[in-house]
């Protein structure tokens, strides 16, 4: 089954009310048991959790797929830096072809460092280190002078000790509440929830923090490089919307809400684009997400535009994080 068809098949079971069936539920039971045992191993000290001499703030989500983590990480870097911190971001660099540890530079190839780390480095301007060994990557950030480490997509990476956790959730929530592959949960829900839950796409419940993803001005790509244009300038116009993110429909909905006539072209998350992906799309402007844009170097596009989005947060959220981090918040138990 092609990957796109498999994703649609799974999403229908995770979020669409279709029963996952006995096979998926059986595999999920095994996976869930393994994840519980893994967490218990850290809790009991059978596996060692490494702690850094600086605070560690983990941002992640309980489900697979995009929930808005990358815009949130960028917003947190900017907000906490304005409050006196020197933050750096550590990431595994999912989907990258490069090996070993790498300090990301703005001109790096996304294929070598990962699309999300490159986007964070370009937009936030802070040190970003990618390493499959996130403990080593975090230690490298400390050596670079960072006094705060933000672990991107690190809720399930228990080996790296943390002081605070932020869980990100979108309007889809936790789906059917089942563990992979019967549901979207990466692991069974831990006994202790994250200290902060940030939600976007729905109204926050008591104890949750709202986040809005706000479109910014379009940036030209390819032959349009250096140009900017308001999203409203495309209102009523037919466009090709290309998205290889965790939840492409969110991008398509943003464009439709702005009044654009959208022809959607979804791709798998972290898709590595080639010229052929844009064949036949030269009859209308092409709009892509920022996460896609960092992967389009070397592709000749005549009329293509990147739509950056900014995470709008209530100011008391970074204030609360800043206060807790300065108090020397104890490490979170696994």
What domains lie within the chain, and their CATH numbers? Answer: 43-212+313-326 (3.40.50.300), 217-307 (no CATH)
| Beta-carbon contacts of residue 29 (< 8 Å; ≥ 6 apart) | none
CA gyration radius, the chain: 20
What ranges make up the beta strands (E) of the chain? 56-60, 87-91, 102-103, 128-130, 148-152, 164-169, 196-199, 208-210, 212-215, 218-221, 228-229, 238-243, 261-266, 286-289, 304-307, 309-312
The β-bridge relationship of strands 228-229 and 87-91 is unpaired
CA distance 159 to 39: 10
286 by DSSP, 3-state: which?
strand
| pLDDT value of residue 1 | 65
Q: What is the pTM of this model?
A: 0.93
Alpha-helical regions (H) of the chain: 3-14, 21-43, 69-82, 110-113, 115-124, 134-143, 248-257, 290-293, 316-326
The span from the CA of 84 to the CA of 123, in Å, is 19
Closest by CA to 176, choosing from 7, 29, 12, 14, is 14
Tokens of 126: 């802070």
**pLDDT at res. 269:** 87
Between CA 334 and CA 191 the distance in angstroms is: 10
Strand 261-266 versus strand 238-243 pairing type: parallel
| Averages of pLDDT over each 10 residues, the chain, 334 residues | 79 92 96 95 93 95 88 97 98 87 95 94 97 96 98 93 94 93 93 88 93 95 94 95 91 95 92 92 95 92 95 95 88 82
Query: What pLDDT, on a 0 to 100 scale, did the predictor assign at position 18?
Result: 93
Cβ-count burial 52-79 (b if 16+ within 10 Å, e if not): bebbbbbbbbbbbbbbbbbbbbbbbbbb
């Amino acid at each position: 089954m092609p990957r796109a068809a498999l994703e649609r098949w799974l999403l229908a079971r995770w979020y669409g009310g279709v029963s996952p069936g006995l096979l998926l539920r059986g595999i999920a039971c095994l996976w869930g048991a393994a994840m519980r045992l893994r967490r218990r191993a850290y809790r009991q000290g059978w596996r060692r959790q490494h702690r850094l001499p600086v605070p560690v703030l983990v941002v992640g989500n309980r489900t697979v797929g995009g929930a808005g983590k990358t815009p949130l990480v960028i917003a947190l870097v900017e907000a906490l830096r304005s409050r006196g911190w020197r933050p750096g971001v550590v990431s595994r660099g999912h989907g990258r072809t490069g090996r070993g540890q790498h300090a990301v530079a703005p001109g790096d190839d996304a294929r070598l460092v990962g699309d999300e780390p490159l986007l964070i480095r370009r937009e936030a301007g802070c040190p970003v280190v990618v390493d499959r060994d996130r403990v080593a990557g975090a230690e490298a950030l400390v050596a670079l002078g960072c006094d705060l480490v933000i672990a991107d997509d690190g809720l399930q990476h228990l080996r790296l000790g943390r002081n605070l956790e932020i869980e990100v959730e979108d309007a889809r929530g936790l789906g059917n509440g089942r563990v992979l592959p019967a549901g979207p949960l990466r692991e069974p829900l831990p006994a202790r929830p994250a200290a902060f839950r940030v939600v976007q796409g729905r109204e926050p419940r008591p104890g949750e923090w709202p986040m809005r993803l706000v479109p910014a001005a379009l940036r030209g790509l390819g032959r349009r490089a250096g140009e900017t244009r308001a999203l409203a300038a495309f209102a009523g116009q037919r466009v090709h919307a290309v998205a290889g993110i965790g939840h492409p429909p969110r991008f398509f909905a943003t464009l439709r809400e702005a009044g654009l006539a959208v022809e959607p072209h979804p791709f798998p998350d972290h898709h590595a684009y080639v010229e052929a992906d844009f064949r036949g799309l030269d009859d209308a402007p092409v709009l892509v997400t920022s996460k896609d844009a960092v992967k389009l170097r070397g592709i000749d596009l005549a009329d293509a535009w990147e739509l950056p989005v900014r995470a709008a947060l209530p100011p008391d959220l970074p204030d609360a994080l800043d206060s807790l981090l300065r108090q020397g918040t104890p490490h979170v138990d696994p």
